[in-house]
């Protein structure tokens, strides 16, 4: 409600949409999801099944301009990922799901668990593995999202990587610190250098690559 009101008041209806990072692995307890996981006295009887949690996501997608759900389920709750992906056209984005591990990326594509996967250089360990993960995702019709890491440096290479791979998406968090702002500024500089050759993805952010 607050976000949709802000979008309306700023005149961005139809231009700005909402992406949710649920980080659901933090909520996962005893095979279910505890939405009050920060409360040490939460009631296990109120824990939520994967199916009920999925209904919450679907209701939000229907009621609000939600375009993406990130890490909606625990990283090994594969059936929940696959089921939600089959029930919506929204982006179902796995970040913790695969951790830029080629074996897990392969499992995600095989199980159709999600339709977009994060690429994090610090998780893969090598640039080669990031490129291999990207190729695997692209060949299976998955979108890719270049993602920074918490406490990242001011190096702007990830912006160049996102443009070079034509991912259409880069996730560096809110522009509140220099290591984040620098990467967004680099995107703008690349656009200025490319001029008419630059391509703004818009609503096709999952289809560029």
- 83 close to 89: Cβ distance less than 8 angstroms: no
Please, what is the Cα angle at 109 between 50 and 95, to 5 degrees? 60
* Residues 28 and 72 occupy one common structural domain: yes
4 domain residue, yes or no: yes
- 138 close to 165: Cβ distance less than 8 angstroms: no
pLDDT category, 153, cuts 50, 70, 90? Answer: confident
* Residues 80 and 15 occupy one common structural domain: yes
Give the pLDDT confidence score for residue 205 in this predicted structure: 75
- pLDDT tens per residue, range 117-144: 999 998 998 999 999 999 999 999 999 9
Q: Which domain holds residue 33?
A: 1-97
Give the integer Cα–Cα distance in Å for 89 and 40. 36
- pLDDT tens per residue, range 74-98: 999 999 999 999 999 999 999 999 9
- pTM of this structure: 0.93
* Residues 199 and 141 occupy one common structural domain: yes
pLDDT category, 209, cuts 50, 70, 90? Answer: low
Going by C-alpha positions, the residue among 150, 168, 11 that lies closest to residue 93 is 168
- 76 close to 36: Cβ distance less than 8 angstroms: no
> Which residue stretches of 45-167 are H helix?
50-63, 78-86, 102-111, 121-124, 127-139, 157-164
* Residues 79 and 23 occupy one common structural domain: yes
* Residues 76 and 165 occupy one common structural domain: no
* Residues 77 and 151 occupy one common structural domain: no
Number of domains in the chain: 2
Give the pLDDT confidence score for residue 28 in this predicted structure: 97
Residue 149, pLDDT > 80, answer: yes
Query: DSSP label at 199?
Result: -
* Residues 89 and 140 occupy one common structural domain: no
171: number of Cβ within 10 Å: 20
* Residues 154 and 93 occupy one common structural domain: no
């Amino acid at each position: 409600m607050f976000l949709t009101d802000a979008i309306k008041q700023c005149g961005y209806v139809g231009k700005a949409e909402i992406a949710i990072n649920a980080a659901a692995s933090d909520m996962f307890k005893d095979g279910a999801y505890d939405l009050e996981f920060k409360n040490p006295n939460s009631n296990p009887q109120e824990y939520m099944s994967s199916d009920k949690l999925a209904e919450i996501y679907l209701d939000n997608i229907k009621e609000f301009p939600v375009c993406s759900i990130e890490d909606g389920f625990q990283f090994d709750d594969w059936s929940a990922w696959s089921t939600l992906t089959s029930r919506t056209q929204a982006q179902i984005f796995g970040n913790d799901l695969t951790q830029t591990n080629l074996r897990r990326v392969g499992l995600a594509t095989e199980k159709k668990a999600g339709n977009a996967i994060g690429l994090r250089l610090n998780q893969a360990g090598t640039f080669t593995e990031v490129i291999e993960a990207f190729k695997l995702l692209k060949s299976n019709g998955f979108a890719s999202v270049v993602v920074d890491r918490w406490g990242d440096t001011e190096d702007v290479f990830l912006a160049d990587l996102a443009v070079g791979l034509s991912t259409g998406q880069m996730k560096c968090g809110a522009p509140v610190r220099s290591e984040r702002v620098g990467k967004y500024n680099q995107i703008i500089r690349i656009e200025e250098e490319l001029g008419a050759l630059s391509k703004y993805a818009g609503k096709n952010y999952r289809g560029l690559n």
